[in-house]
C-alpha cells in the first residue's frame, strides 16, 4: 500500500478533494449564458415530487417487491448481502425473497428512512439552491472526487429508475389495449431479456417511444413540463383513491396471513427494492435553479410530497395484497390491473390503468428532468463535455443533455425487464442519501454561521440515523447489485482520472505548476487502477487455462471485459503522464 501511494504521489487530498465554495457555486449558476429560467413555485415543486414518487412504486413495483423474483437456479449472486455476511454461503437463495403482505410495512419503514434523508435534503436545498442535487452538495462539502462519484451514481440512479418506469408503462399500455380487444405484438411489447427466459429477439418499443416523446416536451421548457405534470398528478391521485376505496370492499383478510412469509429478510429486501420510488424529493432539489423562491419553497416541496406519497403507498399496498394472493404478482409489471381483472372490476381497472399510465408519464417526466440537470451541473464544472451544459437559446433548457438522457434511457428500456432494472437502481439511490446526510453534518461543523432558511431538527441524531438506515437497506440488496454498482463506480473513476480531472474548472484555477503536479498524480492513479483491472483479467484467464475456473461464456467474458477495460486506460495514463511530467 505504501509503494502504491508513493507511486501516485502524496498530497492527494489537494488534488482529488478540493471543494468548490458555495459562493462560487451560486455565482456560476448566475452566468447569463448558462442561467435557467425561474418559473416554479411551491405547488409546482410539490407536484413534481408527487409526480416522481408516485408512479413505479404503486403501479409497478409493489407486485414484484411483494412476490419476489425467481432465478433459474440457486445463486450466491441473488442472495442479499446481509444474508451472506451473517450466514456465509449456507443460505444461498433461488432469486430475491418477497415481502408478501408485509410490503406495506416495507413502505412505511422506508418512508421513515426517507423522511430522515428528506430533512437533510431540505436543509442543503435551502442553502445551495443549485441544479445538480446531491452532486452539487457533495462538491461543496466532500470535494471534487466524491462529487464526481455521486454525480456518476446519480446518472445511473435516474436513468435506471426511468428505464423501470418505461417498462411498467408498456405493460399497462398492453393491458389497456387488451381491454379494447387489441393486442400489441409480443415482439414489440416485451423486453429482450428476462431472468427467467434469458435473451430473445424482442424490443419494448412502447417504452422507448414514451421516453422520446417526453424528451421533446422537456426540451421545450420547464414551465410547460411542470404544468403538464401538475395535471397528470391530479389524474393519478384520483385513480389511486378510487382503487383504495372501491377495491377495499373486496379484501379477504386471510390473504394477509402469513403477513411476513420471508421474515424480516423479505421486509428489508422489499424495502430496498421500492426505495428508489421515494426519490421524488431528490428530483425536486435538482430543479432548484428554476424556483422563484428556492430557500422557502424547496424544503416545503420536498417534505409535503414525501408525506402525501407515504400515506398513499401504504394504503395501496394493504389493499392490493388483501384482494389477491401476492404470489401471482411475480414478474408482473402491471399488478394493480391484474388484481382488478381477477376480481371482475374491469370498469375500475380501465380507469385505474389510465391513472397508472398518467402517473408513470409524470414520473418519467420528472426523472428525465432531474437526470438532465445533473449532467448539466457536471458539465458546467467541466467534468463532462461542454455540450451537456449548453442552454437552448429560445427555451432556456439544457437541450443537449436532455436529448442524450432520452436515448440513454429509451434504448435499455426496450431491452431489460422490470425486476432487473429495479434491482440495479436502488443501491445508487441509497448511496446518494448517505452522502447527502454526511454533507449536512460537515456543513454544520465547517459553516455553522451560514444562513439556513430550514434547519434539520436534532441534526446530530437525524443525519447519522439516516446514514444507518440507508446502509442497512443497501445490505438487503443482492450481491450481484453490489458487483454491478462497484463496476459502475470503477468505470466512473477511470473516466474522471482520464478526463474530468484534466478539465475541471476548479483545477484550472490553480497555478500552472500546481496544476501539472496534480495532473501527474491523477495519471499515476489512473495507471494503478487500470493496472489492477488488467492483472485481475490475467488472473481469470490463467485460472481458466489451468482448469481452476470452468471455460464457460461467463468466465471468459469476465476476463475479456477486464482486459478490454483496463488495457486502454493504462495506455492513456502512461501517455498523459509523459505529457504532464
- What does the pLDDT read at residue 115? 84
pLDDT at 89: 56
**Res 77: pLDDT:** 65
**pLDDT for res 224:** 59
Judge whether residue 452 has pLDDT over 70: yes
Query: Contact, 363 vs 54, CB < 8 A?
Result: yes
Q: Is the pLDDT of residue 6 over 50?
A: no
Any idea which residue has 432465478 for its cell? 71
What pLDDT is attached to residue 38? 67
Going from the N-terminus, what domains does the chain have, and what CATH number goes with each? 1-21+479-581 (no CATH), 31-477 (1.20.1740.10)
pTM over 0.85: no
pLDDT confidence of residue 8 = 45
The pLDDT value recorded for residue 305 is 85
Quote the CA–CA distance of 136 and 147 in Å, as a whole number.
7
* Pick from 484, 461, 490, 469: nearest CA to 565: 490
Backbone angles phi, psi at 565, to 5 degrees: -80, -45
Confidence of residue 12 (pLDDT cuts 50, 70, 90): very low
DSSP for 187-241 reads HHHS-SEETTTEE-S---HHHHHHHHHHHHHHHH-HHHHHHHHHHHHHHHHHHHH
Question: pLDDT-based confidence at 246, cuts 50/70/90?
Answer: very high
| pLDDT at residue 376, as a whole number | 86
Could you report the per-residue pLDDT of 294-337, keeping only the tens digit for each? 777 777 887 788 888 888 989 999 999 999 999 888 877 778 88
Residue (of 258, 2, 248, 294) closest to 122 by Cα position = 294
What digits encode the pLDDT tens for the residues 98-157? 889 999 999 888 888 888 888 888 788 777 776 666 787 788 778 888 888 888 888 877
Amino acid at each position: 500500500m505504501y509503494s502504491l501511494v508513493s507511486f501516485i504521489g502524496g498530497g492527494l487530498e489537494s488534488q482529488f478533494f478540493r471543494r468548490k465554495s458555495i459562493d462560487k457555486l451560486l455565482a456560476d449558476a448566475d452566468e447569463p449564458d448558462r442561467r435557467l429560467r425561474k418559473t416554479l413555485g411551491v405547488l409546482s415543486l410539490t407536484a413534481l415530487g408527487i409526480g416522481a414518487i408516485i408512479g413505479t412504486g404503486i403501479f409497478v413495483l409493489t407486485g414484484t417487491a411483494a412476490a419476489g423474483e425467481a432465478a433459474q437456479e440457486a445463486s450466491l449472486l441473488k442472495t442479499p448481502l446481509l444474508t451472506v455476511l451473517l450466514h456465509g454461503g449456507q443460505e444461498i437463495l433461488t432469486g430475491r425473497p418477497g415481502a408478501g403482505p408485509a410490503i406495506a410495512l416495507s413502505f412505511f419503514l422506508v418512508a421513515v428512512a426517507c423522511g430522515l434523508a428528506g430533512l437533510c435534503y431540505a436543509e442543503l436545498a435551502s442553502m445551495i439552491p443549485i441544479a445538480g442535487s446531491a452532486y452539487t452538495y457533495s462538491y461543496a462539502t466532500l470535494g471534487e472526487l466524491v462529487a464526481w462519484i455521486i454525480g456518476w451514481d446519480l446518472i445511473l440512479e435516474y436513468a435506471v429508475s426511468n428505464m423501470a418506469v418505461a417498462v411498467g408503462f408498456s405493460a399497462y399500455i398492453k393491458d389497456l389495449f387488451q381491454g379494447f380487444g387489441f393486442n400489441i405484438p409480443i415482439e414489440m411489447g416485451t423486453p429482450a431479456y428476462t431472468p427467467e427466459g434469458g435473451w430473445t429477439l424482442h424490443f419494448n418499443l412502447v417504452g422507448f417511444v414514451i421516453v422520446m416523446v417526453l424528451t421533446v416536451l422537456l426540451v421545450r421548457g420547464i414551465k410547460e413540463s411542470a404544468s403538464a405534470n401538475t395535471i397528470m398528478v391530479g389524474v393519478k391521485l384520483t385513480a389511486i383513491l378510487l382503487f383504495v376505496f372501491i377495491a377495499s370492499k373486496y379484501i379477504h383478510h386471510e390473504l394477509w396471513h402469513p403477513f411476513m412469509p420471508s421474515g424480516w429478510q423479505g421486509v428489508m429486501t422489499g424495502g430496498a427494492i421500492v426505495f428508489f420510488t421515494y426519490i421524488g424529493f431528490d428530483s425536486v432539489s435538482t430543479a432548484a435553479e428554476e424556483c422563484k423562491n428556492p430557500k422557502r419553497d424547496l424544503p416545503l416541496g420536498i417534505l409535503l410530497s414525501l408525506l402525501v406519497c407515504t400515506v398513499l403507498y401504504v394504503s395501496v399496498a394493504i389493499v392490493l395484497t388483501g384482494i389477491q394472493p401476492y404470489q401471482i404478482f411475480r414478474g408482473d409489471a402491471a399488478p394493480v390491473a391484474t388484481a382488478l381483472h381477477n376480481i371482475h372490476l374491469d370498469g375500475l381497472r380501465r380507469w385505474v390503468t389510465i391513472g397508472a399510465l398518467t402517473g408513470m408519464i409524470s414520473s418519467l417526466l420528472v426523472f428525465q428532468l432531474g437526470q438532465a440537470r445533473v449532467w448539466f451541473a457536471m458539465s458546467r464544472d467541466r467534468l463532462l463535455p461542454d455540450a451537456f451544459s449548453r442552454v437552448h437559446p429560445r427555451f432556456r433548457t439544457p437541450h443537449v443533455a436532455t436529448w442524450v438522457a432520452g436515448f440513454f434511457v429509451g434504448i435499455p428500456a426496450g431491452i431489460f425487464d422490470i425486476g432487473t432494472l429495479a434491482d440495479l437502481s436502488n443501491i445508487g439511490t441509497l448511496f446518494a442519501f448517505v452522502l447527502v446526510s454526511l454533507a449536512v453534518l460537515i456543513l454544520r461543523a465547517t459553516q455553522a454561521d451560514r444562513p439556513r432558511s430550514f434547519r434539520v431538527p436534532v441534526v446530530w441524531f437525524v443525519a447519522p440515523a439516516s446514514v444507518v438506515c440507508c446502509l442497512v437497506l443497501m445490505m438487503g440488496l443482492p450481491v450481484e447489485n453490489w458487483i454491478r454498482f462497484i463496476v459502475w463506480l470503477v468505470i466512473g473513476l477511470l473516466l474522471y482520472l482520464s478526463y474530468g480531472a484534466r478539465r475541471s474548472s476548479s483545477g484550472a484555477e490553480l497555478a500552472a505548476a500546481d496544476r501539472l503536479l496534480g495532473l501527474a498524480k491523477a495519471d499515476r492513479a489512473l495507471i494503478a487502477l487500470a493496472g489492477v483491472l488488467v492483472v485481475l483479467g490475467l488472473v481469470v484467464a490463467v485460472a481458466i487455462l489451468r482448469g481452476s475456473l470452468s471455460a464457460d461464456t461467463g468466465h471468459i467474458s469476465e476476463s475479456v471485459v477486464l482486459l478490454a477495460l483496463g488495457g486502454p486506460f493504462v495506455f492513456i495514463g502512461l501517455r498523459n503522464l509523459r505529457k504532464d511530467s
